[in-house]
Amino acid sequence: MNHSIKPIIFQTILFTVMSSSLSVVMASSLPSGDEISQHINARNDGVQVSRTLTMELIDRRGKTRVRETQGFRKYFGNEKRTVIHYLKPRNVKGTAFLTYDYPEANRDDDQWLYLPALRKVRRISASDRGDYFLGTDFTYEDIKKENKVSIDDYRRETLREEMLDGFRSYVVESIPVNDKTAKELGYSKVLQWVDADIWIVRKSKFWDIQGNLLKTTNIKDIRQIQGIWTVHRMEVVNHKTSHKTNFTFSNVNYETEVSDDSFTERSLRRGL
Amino acid sequence: MIRLQNVRCVVVCSYLLLVLGLSLPMLTLAKEQSFTDAMETSLVVSSEVAVDKDEVQKSEILVIPEIEIDLPMQSKLTGIARIRADADKSIDPDDQTDVELRELYLQTDIGRSLWTLGKQQVVWGKADGLKVLDVVNPRDFREFILDDFDNARIPLWMVNAEIPIEDVTLQLLWIPDQTYHKFASTKGLYAFRSSTLVPTVPADVVVDLQNPTEPDHRFGDADWGFRLSSFWKGWDLSANYLYHYSDTPVLFRELSTTPTGVKATMTPRYERSHLIGGTFSNAFGDLTLRGELGYSTDRYISTNDATDSDGIVKNNELAYVMGLDWYGFSDSLVSLQFFQTRLSQNKKQMIRDGLDSTLTLLLKRVFLNDTLSSEILWLHNIDMGDGLLRPKVSYDLNDEIQLWLGVDVFYGDDDGLFGQFTERDRFVSGIEISL
C-alpha cells in the first residue's frame, strides 16, 4: 500500500511544482497591471468628440426608461472636460452635467449639474464619485473615465491571458489602494478583461465594499471611427438590484470642432 | 389705470411682434430642415389636491404646452403657455383660473455671445428658496411660498445678453416690463395678515386704500442690471448689480381729520432700489460651500408710529445666505442654509425688526435608480420662532407619470411669516403627466 502511494504523492508534488513554475513563467511574460493601465490610458480617443448617447434603464420587472443625450468631450492639455445634455424625455430634458477632470492626482475634479426645474447650475461634490449617475448603474467615476482607468486609485495585478468572445484579453485584478478610496469608489475589487490588441476593456466585474459581486459590465460593438477605436455599446447589470443600464453611442464624430464654450456654466443653462 | 393697461398692451404686442419678426426670416431660411423636424412640442398636465383639517384648499389642474423651434444660425424660439384652473375657491376666490403666455423668447448666438430676447425667467444667486439676488423676476404669492419656484416666478419681457470676455462672462439685462409681485387677495387663504408684514391702524381710524401707483414710463422706468461671472481657482464667482423697482409696493400713509374721525389714506407706490452683491461656490471633499450677499438701497419699511409723517422709514438692507451641501451618504443630500437680513435703521414701531434670521435644512434621498425620492424641507425663523416643515415623497411611475404626496406644516406665532398660516396645515397629493 505504502509503495503504491509514494509515487503518486511524488508525482503530485512534482506536477504542482512544475505547474506553479509554469504559471510564474507565464505570469512574468504577461504585462503588469500598471503597464496595461498605461496602455489603456494612452489609447487615442481623440482631442475632442461629439456623440449621441442613448441610455436604457431597465428595472427588475423589465420596465424600461429611455434617455437621449448629446455629449461633448475635449482635452485642454491633460485636462479633460466633458458635458452631457439630456434631450429626451420631457421630464429630464434640459438637465446637463459638466465635469473638469484634472490630471493632478491630489486635485478634486470640478462638477456642475444644471436642473431645469430650478433653472440653476448647482456645484456638486466630486468626492461622491461612487454614487450612481442620474439613475443609471454607472457611477459618476465610470461616466467620467469613459473606459479609461484611474492609475492612482488601484493596485493592479495581471492574473492571466484568456480568450473572451474570440478576442485575446488580459485579465487584470484591481484593488483600491486604501479603504477611503474603496468607499469613495464603492468597489472593493474590480476584475477587467482588457483587449490585448486594442487596449479597450471588454468586460468588467465589480465587487462592493462588503466583497459581494455588485455588477458586471460588457462592452460591445467596438469599431473604428475616423481611425479611432470607439465603444458603441455598454451593458451593465447590477446583481444586487437586478437593474440594468445599456448605453448606445451613435453619431460619433472626432473631427467636428467642439467649441471651448461648450464647457461653461453658460452652455449648461443654454442647453442644445 | 386704463391708460396704463393700454400702454402695457401696446408695448407687449410690439415686443411680441419684434421677437416673432426676428424669428420669421430665420424660419424661411430653414430650407435644409423641414418645419416638423425643426419643431419640438411637449405637454405637461398636472393636478394637485390640497386638503387641510377643515376643507379642500385647492383642487387644481395645470396644463402647460411648450413649443421649441430650431432656427438657422444657432437660434431657437421657445414658447410656453399655462392654463390653470382651480375647482376650489379657497386659495383665492378672485383668481381661480387663468390662461397665460408664460414664456416666449428667441435665443440666438451672435459670435460667442448668447442673446435671449422675449418673455423669460432669469435666476440669479446660489441660495435655494431664499431671495437675496434672485429678484430679477417677481413672484406670485397666491399660494405663499408653497408653489414650486418655476410656477411661482413671473416671467418678464427683457433683453438678456451673455457676452464672454476672456474668462469672464458679462450678462446684461434690460427689462422694460413693469410687472411686480402678485399677492393673494384679502379673501384668499394665504393673504398676508402678520403685523410684521402689514401695518396696523387703531380701530377708530378709517383706512382708505388707494390703487397702487405703478411706474408708467416703459423705457425710463425699465429695470436694468448686469452680472460678471467667472470660474477662478475652483471658485464660481459672480458680481451682480440691478437697478430696479422693488417688487413690493411701499405703503405711504397720510393721516387726515374728517368730520367722522381720523382717516388714514394708504397709497401703495413702487420705489427704485440699487442692488449690489455677489455669489460664490466651491466644493471641498463631500462638502459644497455656497453663498450670496446683496446690499439694497431705498428699502422702505412701514411704521405704526402715528407721529411719523408718511408712515414709512427709509432704510438700506444687507442680506446674505451661507449654504453647506453635504454629499457624505450615497444618493443623499443634506443641505443647510443660514439667511440673515439687516436693516440700516431699527426705529421703534417699524413693523419688522432690523435683524431677521432664518435657517433652512433640506434632507433628500433618492432610491430605486432615482425613481423614488424623499425629502424633508424645514424653514425656521430664529427671531420669531416660527417655521414650516415640508416632508414629501415622489415616485416616477414611468418617464411620463410622476406621483407625489406631501405635508405642509406651519408652526409658531401668528405674527411670524410662517406662523400666520398655522391654521393652513395641509396634506397634498398630485400627479403629473408629461407628453
Amino acid residing at A193: W
Q: Is the pLDDT of residue A13 over 70?
A: no
Q: What is the rounded CA–CA span in Å between residue A48 and residue A198? A: 19
Amino acid residing at B65: P
pLDDT digit string, tens, across residues A95-106 = 999 999 998 878
Question: Residues with Cβ < 8 Å from A266, sequence gap 6 or more?
Answer: B114, B162, B164, B169
Q: What is the rounded CA–CA span in Å between residue A225 and residue A51? A: 11
Query: CA-CA distances (angstroms) from residue B189 to A45, A53, B52, B412?
Result: 60, 48, 11, 17
> Are A118 and B128 within 8 A, CB to CB?
yes
Backbone angles phi, psi at A2, to 5 degrees: -60, -40
pLDDT at residue B22, as a whole number:
56
Indicate the length of chain B as a whole number: 435
Identify all chain A residues contacting B369, using CB atoms and an 8 Å cutoff. Answer: 57, 59, 132, 135-137, 241, 243
Task: Give the chain B residue nearest A88 (alpha carbons).
Answer: B399
Identify all chain A residues contacting B110, using CB atoms and an 8 Å cutoff. Answer: none
pLDDT at residue A24, as a whole number:
46
Chain B interface, mutation test: which of A59, A60, A119, most B Cβ atoms within 10 Å? Answer: A119
Dihedral angle over CA of A136, A142, A146, A147, nearest 10: -110
What does the angle CA B380 – CA B383 – CA B388 come to, to the nearest 5 degrees?
20
Per-residue confidence at A12, pLDDT binned at 50, 70, 90? Answer: low
**Does A242 lie at the interface with B, CB-CB under 8 angstroms?**
no
Mean per-residue pLDDT for A39-49? Answer: 95
pLDDT at residue A1, as a whole number:
41
pLDDT at residue B7, as a whole number:
47
Asked whether this complex has an ipTM greater than 0.90, the answer is no
Q: Which of B44, B162, B402 sits opposite A266 (nearest CB)?
A: B162
Task: Give the chain A residue nearest B43 (alpha carbons).
Answer: A90
**Does A82 lie at the interface with B, CB-CB under 8 angstroms?**
no
Identify all chain B residues contacting A137, using CB atoms and an 8 Å cutoff. Answer: 369
pLDDT at residue B218, as a whole number:
81
Q: What is the rounded CA–CA span in Å between residue A200 and residue A222? A: 9
Task: Give the chain B residue nearest A62 (alpha carbons).
Answer: B398
Of A192, A219, A195, nearest in space to A207 by CA: A192
Classify residue B385 as left (phi > 0), alpha (psi -120 to 50) or beta: left
Amino acid residing at B365: R
pLDDT at residue B28, as a whole number:
52
**Bridge-based pairing state of the strands B113-120 and B156-165:** antiparallel
pLDDT at residue B16, as a whole number:
55
Amino acid residing at B176: P
Mean per-residue pLDDT for A10-38? Answer: 65
Q: What is the rounded CA–CA span in Å between residue A222 and residue A201? A: 10
**Does A5 lie at the interface with B, CB-CB under 8 angstroms?**
no
Q: Is the pLDDT of residue A68 over 90?
A: yes
Q: What is the rounded CA–CA span in Å between residue B263 and residue A90? A: 56
Q: What is the rounded CA–CA span in Å between residue B105 and residue B122? A: 12
In the block, residue with C-alpha cell 428667441? B106
> Are A123 and B290 within 8 A, CB to CB?
yes
Locate B259 and state its grid cell: 368730520
Of B325, B323, B315, nearest in space to B340 by CA: B323
**Does A90 lie at the interface with B, CB-CB under 8 angstroms?**
yes
**Does A118 lie at the interface with B, CB-CB under 8 angstroms?**
yes
Sheet holding B206-209, edge to edge: B206-209, B261-269, B250-258
| A96 within 8 A of B50, measured Cβ to Cβ | no
Query: CA-CA distances (angstroms) from residue B399 to A61, A90, A93, A133, B80?
Result: 15, 8, 11, 17, 21
Question: Residues with Cβ < 8 Å from A143, sequence gap 6 or more?
Answer: A82, A84, A97, A133
The nearest CA of chain B is from the CA of A25 a distance in Å of 44
The nearest CA of chain B is from the CA of A229 a distance in Å of 31
pLDDT at residue A201, as a whole number:
96
Identify all chain A residues contacting B283, using CB atoms and an 8 Å cutoff. Answer: 108, 110-111, 123-127
Q: What is the DSSP string of B227-271?
A: EEEEEETTEEEEEEEEEEE-SS-EEEEEEEEETTEEEEEEEEE--
Q: Is the pLDDT of residue A7 over 60?
A: no
Low-confidence ranges of chain B (pLDDT < 70): 1-33
| B241 within 8 A of B186, measured Cβ to Cβ | no
Q: Which of A128, A135, A261 sits opposite B164 (nearest CB)?
A: A261
> Residue A253 in 3-state DSSP?
strand
Q: What is the rounded CA–CA span in Å between residue B216 and residue B7? A: 8
Identify all chain A residues contacting B150, using CB atoms and an 8 Å cutoff. Answer: 117-119
**Bridge-based pairing state of the strands B401-411 and B387-396:** antiparallel
Locate B126 and state its grid cell: 446660489
> Which alpha helices (H) appear in chain A, and where do they start and end?
2-29, 33-42, 140-145, 179-185, 265-270
Task: Give the chain A residue nearest B125 (alpha carbons).
Answer: A120
Chain A interface, mutation test: which of B66, B369, B404, B431, most A Cβ atoms within 10 Å? Answer: B369
Q: Establish, for the pair of chains A and B, how many residue pairs have beta carbons separated by less than 8 Å.
A: 102
Locate B302 and state its grid cell: 412701514
Query: CA-CA distances (angstroms) from residue B200 to B205, B253, B266, B351, B414?
Result: 10, 11, 11, 9, 14
Q: What is the rounded CA–CA span in Å between residue A106 and residue A196? A: 30
> Are A265 and B434 within 8 A, CB to CB?
no
Residue A245: exposure state from Cβ atoms within 10 A (0-12, 13-18, ≥19): buried
pTM: 0.88
Chain centroid offset of residue B355 CA: 22
pLDDT at residue B18, as a whole number:
56
| B102 within 8 A of B79, measured Cβ to Cβ | no
Identify all chain B residues contacting A135, using CB atoms and an 8 Å cutoff. Answer: 366, 369-371
pLDDT at residue B2, as a whole number:
40
Of A189, A182, A88, A177, nearest in space to A130 by CA: A182
> Are B400 and A125 within 8 A, CB to CB?
no
